Structure 1
Amino acid sequence: MNPTLHQFIVDYGLWAVLAGTFLEGESVVVLAGFLAHQRLLHLPDVMLFAFAGSFAADQLLFYLGRRYRDNRYVRRVRGQPAFAKALALVDRYPHGFILALRFLYGLRTVGPVALGVSRVSPLRFLALNAIAAVIWAVCFSALGYAFGQTIESLLGRLHGVETKLAVAAAIGAAIGLAYHLYARRRK
């Protein structure tokens, strides 16, 4: 095992989870769950950092939509076809939309902005966003951890941090791809 790479993951892996949830959250969190199974990260910490990043990203996007409705960025997001769909769902099912937002393909970025533009109160969004972020972080972290158990039972105990990372990256990419293909197909 490469002690430098191992130590790098131990030192900065959780910060990578936090940053990764701002971008492509599912794959990053599944990967981190797998690394927790491999004992490079601690699963409760992965869940906490995944929650924090996801929660903060959606809060930020909500407040951008609320405060800067006429800003160039918000106008560009409002011009996306998914925005009208998100706004229609917000009007029909505000609570359900907030809780399901992280699991809806194509609405992950525009959804919180649409909620910011809508009449949903900031306090209501804060509470429901926190609940949804907890559910999301636990589900995807546990999914990565469970895949770690499955892979380990199929391949035996993995040796070397490079092998663990390669397998984890492949699992994260496969799950991310499957999620996106499934969501596109449902669209």
Structure 2
Amino acid sequence: MSVEQLIADYGTWFYVITFFWTFLEGETFVIIAGVAAQKGLLDWWSLFLCAWFGSFCGDQTYFWIGRLYGPKVLAKFPRWRAGVEGALSQVQRNSTWFILTFRFIYGVRNFASFSLGMARVQPMRFAVLNFIAAFVWALSFAGAGYIFGEAFEAVAGEWVQGVGLVLLTCLALFAILMIMRARRNGKRRRAAEAHAAASPVEPPAGT
């Protein structure tokens, strides 16, 4: 069965997956789905709305977890402390700008909304800015996928119809591998930061 047929038969599930994937993260997935929308396999507006509200709902959830249970969560998962402290330092500099941009900063989104909740940012203010930021984020990545697919079609010509889905599959596999590698490196970095923070400071020699 072809990928086109799978999407035709189970297309609704791709929108559900988009919502839950963007609830967690999902930049690469949204770009790839945007390419599929350009090829007519998905409805771009439905994709965009699912990405928008998935991202918004996800960060609202993390915000309230941080606001209500932040210290308890950090006590249970102390290795998260370095990432949370890094996000809190950004909040202290300019919370408005941070709320509007943290989705676009690699390695920060996982802790950003949680940290904003812990920082006691006013809930309605966060919700409004988060709603705007999620809109810009979804439009950027879904639009990038659509434009990428359109440009690829224009350059490649008719033969893209035969190999387009093969390339899309390769792109998806490559993206998944890159995400796995980035997350592995991120875990190692956070572990190193947590270890450094927990290690006692050596007194200067001769004291």
Taking the aligned partners of 1:81 and 1:96, their CA distance within structure 2 comes to 21
Q: What amino acid is aligned across from residue 93 of structure 2 in structure 1? A: R
Taking the aligned partners of 2:168 and 2:152, their CA distance within structure 1 comes to 10
Taking the aligned partners of 1:120 and 1:143, their CA distance within structure 2 comes to 31
Q: Deviations over 1:28-73 (max 9, x none)?
A: 1101111110111111111100001100110000000011123336
CA contact (8 A) 1:68 1:74 kept: no
Q: What amino acid is aligned across from residue 64 of structure 1 in structure 2? A: I
Q: Give the structure 2 partner of residue 168 of structure 1.
A: 168
CA contact (8 A) 1:31 1:169 kept: no
Q: Give the structure 1 partner of residue 6 of structure 2.
A: 5
Give the match's secondary structure for 2:77.
helix
CA contact (8 A) 2:66 2:113 kept: yes
Q: Give the structure 2 partner of residue 43 of structure 1.
A: 44
In percent, how many aligned pairs have the same letter? 34
Q: Give the structure 2 partner of residue 70 of structure 1.
A: 71
CA contact (8 A) 1:51 1:134 kept: yes
TM (normalized to structure 2)?
0.75
**Taking CA–CA contacts closer than 8 Å with sequence separation of 6 or more, which of the two structures ends up with the larger relative contact order?**
1
Pick from 158, 161, 164 the counterpart of residue 159 of structure 1.
161
CA contact (8 A) 1:74 1:113 kept: no
Unaligned runs of 5+ in 1: none
RMSD across aligned positions (CA): 2.6
Q: Give the structure 2 partner of residue 116 of structure 1.
A: 117
Structure-2 change in CA distance of 1:31 and 1:135 (3 Å): same
Q: What amino acid is aligned across from residue 167 of structure 2 in structure 1? A: V
Q: Give the structure 1 partner of residue 102 of structure 2.
A: 101
How far residue 123 of structure 1 moved from its aligned partner, in angstroms, is 0.4
Answer with 1 or 2: which has the greater Rg.
2
Q: What amino acid is aligned across from residue 106 of structure 1 in structure 2? A: G
Taking the aligned partners of 1:75 and 1:94, their CA distance within structure 2 comes to 26
Structure-2 change in CA distance of 1:33 and 1:96 (3 Å): same
CA contact (8 A) 2:25 2:55 kept: no
Q: What amino acid is aligned across from residue 153 of structure 1 in structure 2? A: A
TM (normalized to structure 1)?
0.83
